[in-house]
Structure 1
Amino acid sequence: MKLIDLSRTITHKMQRLVNHPTIEVYPFSTHDEKRVVDGYEFSSATMVLHMGDHGGTHVDAPVHFDARPGAKTIDEMPLETFFTEAVCLDLTHVPDQTDITIAHLEAAEKAAGVEIRKGDTVLLYTGFYARAAGTEGYITDFPGLTKESATWLGAKGITAFTVESVSPGRPGRNNFEVHHVCRDMGFTHYEGVVNLDKVVGKGRFRFIALPLKIAGGTGSPVRACAILEG
């Protein structure tokens, strides 16, 4: 068994959408600060972490995009949501600032030699993070799903899909429509997933990305991993 880390490292002032809180990581105490208790000297180091529940590699809870009564918060979602069978589709040929169409998804599924099954998490590998992370374009220039292509995924009965970018759909109407497809068809998505080059072409594998149990959370940072057998 091999574990592949698919998460971004959380760093001070890392990139995020401007409508989300800044991400701050800094020392609260260090080993330079010595304490003496009952004649015994020791030190401890701790960090402050300040961020929203949609920072870094994260998953959306239904309540993030569903205003209807009863929409689940992150702490109400079944743990089974975050531990599923998975496949990775190669979409690296789709240009930046371009819609990912049904035809793109169908061709990628066929090329991968895998079948998207009910309950799967579908990882969408565009290579965008490697190309654009740290640039202004990382926030705006990614390829993204449309209402139609997100509906195609939903019709497969998936549990979730992942993207490398900050949003699942292109900025503007597309992005809101994709979120609403998730709402209406009962699945969710992860944003900011990385290292998909290490799992593309691997067939079927297991995906795990457990969230923090945030009371009323609209999403949560996750430590996403792929579990490869053999």
Structure 2
Amino acid sequence: MNDLRHPHPQAMSGEELTALFEQVSNWGRWGPDDERGALNHIGAAEVARAAALVREGRTVSLSRDFPTQPGPENPWPAQHHMVIAGDDPCVPGVDGLEVSTDYIGIAFHGMASSHIDALCHVFAQGRMYNDHPATEVKSTGARRNTIMAARDGIVGRGVLLDVPRALGVAFVDPEHLTTAAELQATEAALGVTVGKGDLLMVRLGRDVRRAAMADQAVPGLDPRVVAWLHERQVAVLGGDGVHDPIPSGVVHRDWAMPIHMLGLAGMGLHLMDNLDLEPLAEVCAELGRWTFQLVAAPLRIAGGTGSPLNPIAIF
């Protein structure tokens, strides 16, 4: 298995990644104070076009269940505790009212929770999107590029690129990084073209592989894919993993997670991690269509570096 001591055969040098960062950077593109990044590719026309895709009236969740069970990919499990339950449902100080209430808490970044990364989540050499310093994220919360940039929700045309289906395999092996050429081949096989303002979901078959294999490796994308996303003016990237392969095949420690660093810090590309794309893939195959309206509503967390997420595809 690849690690920091054994470079992935597709690994790029630090110099190549630096040049790629400069190529895809959107710093200043929408002004010095912009915090929406690639979400600026979604305008009224893109939202209206997505609404026109709703024909069958079917909805599909892209989220995993709230991850309360500890495991190798969930070292800090989410908390779900009952505050008042049916065995003693009386509300203190309110005679006659019987209820049940609960508490939840979650550290949502990582490999277990379906979530969206804000643009302040990952830095590249001490800077975040639009050339703001990492020190703008304080112990009390972020001052720049927070999840509040998406406080009114993200609505647009969702596109699923089901790479294993198009390539005729059960899943993508983590030893191979999915390339832009393979994403284009997937487009051709599925009869869809990714374009401006799209919310692109890339299925690599993580969950199918997990059911068949004992290790915790997760497939990912070739860093050069970010140049393709930049050219196509994609607004959001989602996947069934975290886009970067786990374990990493990158040997240069300045670029430990290049998709995150190039996407979040360079392009201003919000990332949706750890989605469950299996039900979506089934519905897309059944209907023979790979585009749909996608609605995502991050929590309004002032200073937040992201949010748990339950994106909904609407057909």
Which bin holds the TM-score, normalised by the shorter protein?
0.7 to 0.9
Which residue number corresponds to residue 272 of structure 2? Answer: 190
Q: Are the structure 2 counterparts of residues 71 and 184 from structure 1 closer, same or farther at C-alpha, using a change threshold of 3 Å?
A: farther
CA distance in 2, matches of 1:133, 1:48: 31
Which residue number corresponds to residue 109 of structure 1? Answer: 187
Q: Are the structure 2 counterparts of residues 43 and 86 from structure 1 closer, same or farther at C-alpha, using a change threshold of 3 Å?
A: same
Q: Are the structure 2 counterparts of residues 43 and 196 from structure 1 closer, same or farther at C-alpha, using a change threshold of 3 Å?
A: same
CA distance in 1, matches of 2:312, 2:238: 12
User: Which ranges of structure 2 fall in alignment gaps of 5 or more residues?
Assistant: 1-56, 133-142
Q: Give, in angstroms, the shift of residue 144 of structure 1.
A: 0.4
TM-score under structure 2 normalisation? 0.63
CA distance in 1, matches of 2:273, 2:211: 13
Which residue number corresponds to residue 313 of structure 2? Answer: 226
Q: How does 1:59-138 map to 2 (within 5 A)?
A: 59-66=116-123, 67-68=127-128, 69=132, 71-77=144-150, 79=152, 82-92=154-164, 93=169, 95-97=172-174, 98-132=176-210, 137=215
Percent pairwise identity: 25
Q: Are the structure 2 counterparts of residues 134 and 36 from structure 1 closer, same or farther at C-alpha, using a change threshold of 3 Å?
A: farther
Q: Is the 8 A contact 1:3 1:225 kept in 2?
A: yes
CA distance in 2, matches of 1:133, 1:175: 27
Q: Are the structure 2 counterparts of residues 48 and 114 from structure 1 closer, same or farther at C-alpha, using a change threshold of 3 Å?
A: same
Kindly tell me the number of residue pairs found equivalent between the two proteins: 223
Q: Is the 8 A contact 1:61 1:219 kept in 2?
A: yes
User: Structure 1 counterpart of 2:240, which letter?
Assistant: E
User: Which ranges of structure 1 fall in alignment gaps of 5 or more residues?
Assistant: none
Q: Which deviates more from structure 2 when the two are superposed, residues 141-150 or residues 35-44?
A: 35-44
TM-score under structure 1 normalisation? 0.85
Q: Give, in angstroms, the shift of residue 44 of structure 1.
A: 1.5
User: Structure 1 counterpart of 2:148, which letter?
Assistant: D
Q: Which deviates more from structure 2 when the two are superposed, residues 49-58 or residues 97-106?
A: 49-58
Alignment pair present for 1:217 and 2:304: yes
Which residue number corresponds to residue 199 of structure 1? Answer: 284
Which residue number corresponds to residue 28 of structure 2? Answer: none
Question: Please, what is the CA RMSD of the aligned residues?
Answer: 2.7
Q: Are the structure 2 counterparts of residues 5 and 102 from structure 1 closer, same or farther at C-alpha, using a change threshold of 3 Å?
A: same
Which residue number corresponds to residue 90 of structure 2? Answer: 35
1:199 aligns to what SS in structure 2?
A: helix
Q: Is the 8 A contact 1:89 1:105 kept in 2?
A: yes
CA distance in 2, matches of 1:161, 1:185: 11
What whole-Å deviation, never above 9, does each CA across 1:54-108 have from its counterpart, x for those lacking one?
Answer: 261111000002443274100133635x211111111113532121111211100
**Structure with bigger gyration radius:** 2
Which residue number corresponds to residue 22 of structure 1? Answer: 77
Which residue number corresponds to residue 58 of structure 1? Answer: 115
Q: Is the 8 A contact 2:238 2:273 kept in 1?
A: yes
CA distance in 1, matches of 2:200, 2:301: 25
Which residue number corresponds to residue 234 of structure 2? Answer: 158
Q: Are the structure 2 counterparts of residues 15 and 36 from structure 1 closer, same or farther at C-alpha, using a change threshold of 3 Å?
A: closer
Q: Is the 8 A contact 1:16 1:56 kept in 2?
A: no
